[in-house]
Every structure is written in C-alpha cells, then in structure tokens.
C-alpha cells in the first residue's frame, strides 16, 4: 500500500523517471558503457565487454534480485553489480564494475535521470508560458484596478498581469537550461577522483563512457560529483514554484467574495465544503501555495549537502532519495495544476468594473495631481490639494470629482470637461497595451 502522496495524489509522468526500475536501468547503462570503454583501451576483453553490455538491461537483471542481494549485503549499488555479474556468461562477470567506485555509477546515472526530469519541467514551462501569452493578448485591454499594499492604486490591465507572469516563466526556462548544462555531468574517476584505479587510461575511459551516454565529463571531482550542481537545480525548481505561488495567490485574493474578479475553475459536481454547500473555495491555488513550501525547504537541505567531509561522506545520500524526486514530482504537479487553472480561469467583468469604481474616483488622484501641475500649479501644492480633497471626499462619502468641483482653486485651473475626462479610467493605463504587445513579441520569439 502506498504511503507517500507522491505515489497517489501528486503522481504524474514524472514518477516514472524516478522509479526504482528506471534508476536500475540507468545504473546498468553506465556499467555497460564502462565495460565497452575499457574494452576499447584493452583493459577488458572485447567478448567480455559485449556480454556485459548485452546483459546490462532490465530484461536480465531484475529489481527483485537486486533487492534480495541488498538485503544480504546492505549495499544497493554493489547488489546491482553482483546481480549483473551472475547473469554474465563465461568469465565476463569478473570484469563488471572494474576500477569504478559506487558514485562513478550513481552520479553518472543521476545525470541521465535528471536530464529526463528537467526536460519534462522544461516542456511544462513552455506550455505554461504559451497559455499566459494567450491570456495577455486576450486581456490587454481589460482595465482593472491595480493594488499596492492591498489598497486600490491606479488602473492597470489584466494583460499586464499575465505578461508579467509570462516574462518570469521565460526567465525560469533560461535558468533551467543553464542548470541542465551544469547538472548533466558524470564521472568515471574512481575512489577519490584521481583515476588511479584506471591506470594511465583514466581520461580515455571517462571520455568514452560519457560520450556513449551523451553526458559531459566533470572537470574535477573527488568521490562524487559536487553537490552545488544539485542544489542549483533544486533552487531553480523552487523559483518556478514561487512564481506559481505568486499567480495562485493573486487568483486566491481576486476570488475573495468581496472582490470576485476571477476564479479558478469549479466543476459541475465539485464540492467546496462538507458543511457549507455554497462554498467555492480556491483549493487548487491553495494547494500550490502549500506545496511550494516543501520545494523551498528542500533547497535548504540541498545546500547542506554541498560541504561533504574530505573527499566525501554519506550525509547527502539518504536525504537525496527524498529531496530530488520529491522536488521534481511536486514541481511537475504544481505546473500541471496551474496550467489547468489558467485554461479554465473564469472572469467576472461586472465585478472588475464595480471594483474599479469602488473608491469613488480616488484612484484618479494621481492623474489630477499631474494635470494640475501641467496647468501651472506646483507639483507639491497639487499633491497636498489632492490629498486633502481625497480625505474630505472619503469622510463625506462623496465622489472625488464632486469634491474637486467644489474647490475653487481646482476649478481655476481646470474646466468642467477636463475634470470629467480626468476620471475616465480607460484612458489612464499609460503604455500598458504597448508593454504587453512588446512582451508578446519578445517572448514568442524566445
């Protein structure tokens, strides 16, 4: 019976990448490449290398057998070596794992696994960015209230919101690609990284192995590939998660009953509460905000793994069995959730318009201040005038336009028509449309 929600609630195609059988398959692939490389430099008979290569597959080496051996010897990698060796005909088995240390195999196999995992995340980021760009295009003229400090500020557009998120996702794509280049490295350098177990052929063997697997050889290692690489990848996943949290938080806040400008999709038979039948909770966005805390915490653990003692210790090993697959599976689930949410995102135009009028014109105080300054009033004097007028209008429950029309100083600078026009929120969005269009052009090209 599954215990972890990673195997149930949050399961996706990412799980197969970190499945035990896939891990074993990658270990075997590295062992096969090592035997082939050593045969090329004359350290292993060609016939033995071919036999090892042929048997280094799940068809022959079964996970059940590896686990059986591991229970006896308490070493998972060596259990694989023994299971592979016993499947090799003739004396080929004695050449399995020749000169290698466990992490020559494990870290090189990890590079293969993480390459596949990163590619899945990359595809999801591309898809998410495309959805955000569509939303930005569709909503570039949808004027709404901008909020700072939780208060109404000045008008903006929903297109601006989505373009902002798309640009952030684009940066994550670039970060992930850079991390991929630094992460997909392997080693075949022996116990402390000196290649002494491979004699004078160490560089050639490592080069042949990595070329066979499509992995770059690490420049310098000790017994392990250094963990700053792994920490960087988990950090990028956490950054991705933080952007998803940002989007989810915005949707959650905009879905509040008092605001209700947008809402995440709600199924026809979906239940919001076990006791309150009317509830329409943004639970999927809340789930994203919950899971990102896990992603961030895993970064902290990965940073602790960098400073291993001397040429290595084992303090990274146990926790990496959790934090690496967990981070990728959780990040992939979060991306899937956000993609579904945005595809089905619901807008409430009447509430968007109602909310932009909620302050009774006070959100246009900045525009009036600038207009008065353009007409000849000092900027500071105009600011103080609008501040006092806004306070007065708020206390008296008046529209700011009414309060200003009663102010002789204001009307000395502005006509009635100019005052009226200044409160048109649709004409005070600056270059928002152009900003979105430029972002669309740039991000579609990326």
- The set of catalytic residues is 149, 273
Burial-class residue 368 by CB neighbours within 10 Å (0-12, 13-18, 19+).
buried
Secondary structure (DSSP) of 115-166: HHHHHHHHHHHHHHHHHHHHHHHHTTT-EEEEEETTEEEEEEEHHHHHHHHH
Distance of CA 414 to the CA centre of its chain: 51
Cα gap 350→370, rounded to integer Å:
29
**Checking phi first, is residue 185 left (phi over 0); if not, alpha (psi -120 to 50) or beta?**
beta
Report the 3 state secondary structure along 361-421: CHHHHHHHHHHHHHCCCCHHHHHHHHHHHHHHHHHHCCCHHHHHHCCHHHHHHCCHHHHHH
Burial-class residue 86 by CB neighbours within 10 Å (0-12, 13-18, 19+).
middle
* Contacts (Cβ under 8 Å, ≥6 apart) of 210: 108, 186, 188, 216, 217
Cα gap 32→55, rounded to integer Å:
8
Cα gap 413→239, rounded to integer Å:
50
Burial-class residue 147 by CB neighbours within 10 Å (0-12, 13-18, 19+).
middle
Cα gap 282→251, rounded to integer Å:
8
* Token digits of residue 265: 């999709």
CA-to-CA dists, residue 153 to 123, 148, 344, 429, 436, angstroms: 36, 6, 28, 12, 20
Phi, psi dihedrals of residue 192, rounded to the nearest 5°: -120, 15
Cα gap 236→258, rounded to integer Å:
35
Helix/strand/coil for 25? helix
């Amino acid at each position: 019976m599954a215990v972890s929600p990673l195997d149930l609630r949050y399961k996706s195609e990412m799980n197969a990448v970190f499945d035990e059988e896939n891990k074993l398959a990658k270990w075997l692939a590295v062992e096969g490449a090592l035997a082939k490389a050593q045969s090329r430099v004359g350290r292993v008979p060609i016939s033995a290398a071919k036999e090892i290569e042929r048997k280094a597959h799940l068809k022959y080496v079964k996970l059940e057998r590896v686990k059986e051996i591991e229970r006896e010897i308490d070493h998972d990698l060596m259990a694989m070596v023994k299971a592979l060796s016993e499947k090799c005909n003739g004396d080929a088995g004695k050449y399995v794992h020749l000169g290698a240390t466990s992490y020559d195999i494990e870290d090189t196999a990890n590079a293969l696994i993480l390459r596949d995992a990163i590619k899945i995340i990359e595809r999801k980021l591309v898809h998410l960015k495309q959805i955000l760009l569509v939303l930005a295009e569709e909503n570039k003229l949808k004027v709404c209230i901008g909020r700072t400090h939780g208060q109404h500020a000045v008008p903006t557009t929903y297109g601006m919101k989505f373009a902002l998120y798309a640009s952030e996702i684009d940066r994550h794509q670039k970060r992930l690609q850079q991390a991929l280049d630094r992460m997909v490295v392997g080693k075949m350098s022996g116990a402390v990284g000196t290649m002494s177990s491979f004699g004078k052929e160490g560089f050639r063997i490592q080069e042949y192995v990595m070329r066979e697997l499509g992995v770059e050889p690490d420049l310098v290692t000790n017994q392990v590939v250094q963990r700053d690489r792994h920490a960087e990848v988990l950090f990028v996943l956490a950054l991705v998660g933080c952007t998803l949290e940002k989007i989810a938080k915005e949707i959650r806040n905009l879905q509040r009953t008092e605001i209700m400008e947008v809402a995440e999709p709600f199924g026809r038979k979906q239940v919001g509460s076990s006791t309150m039948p009317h509830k329409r909770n943004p639970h999927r966005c809340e789930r994203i905000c919950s899971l990102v805390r896990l992603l961030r915490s895993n970064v902290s653990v990965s940073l602790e793994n960098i400073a291993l003692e001397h040429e290595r210790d084992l303090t990274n090993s146990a926790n990496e069995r959790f934090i690496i697959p967990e981070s990728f599976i959780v990040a992939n689930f979060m991306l899937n959730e956000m993609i579904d949410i945005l595809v089905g995102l619901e807008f409430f135009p009447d509430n968007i318009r109602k909310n932009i009028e909620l302050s009774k014109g006070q959100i246009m105080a900045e525009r009036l201040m600038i207009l008065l300054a353009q007409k000849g009033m000092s900027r500071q004097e105009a600011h103080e005038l609008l501040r006092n007028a806004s306070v007065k209008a708020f206390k008296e429950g008046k529209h700011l336009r009414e309060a200003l029309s009663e102010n002789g100083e204001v009307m000395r600078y502005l006509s009635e028509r100019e005052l009226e026009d200044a409160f048109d929120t649709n004409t005070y969005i600056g270059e928002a449309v152009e900003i979105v269009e430029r972002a669309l052009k740039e991000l579609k090209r990326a």
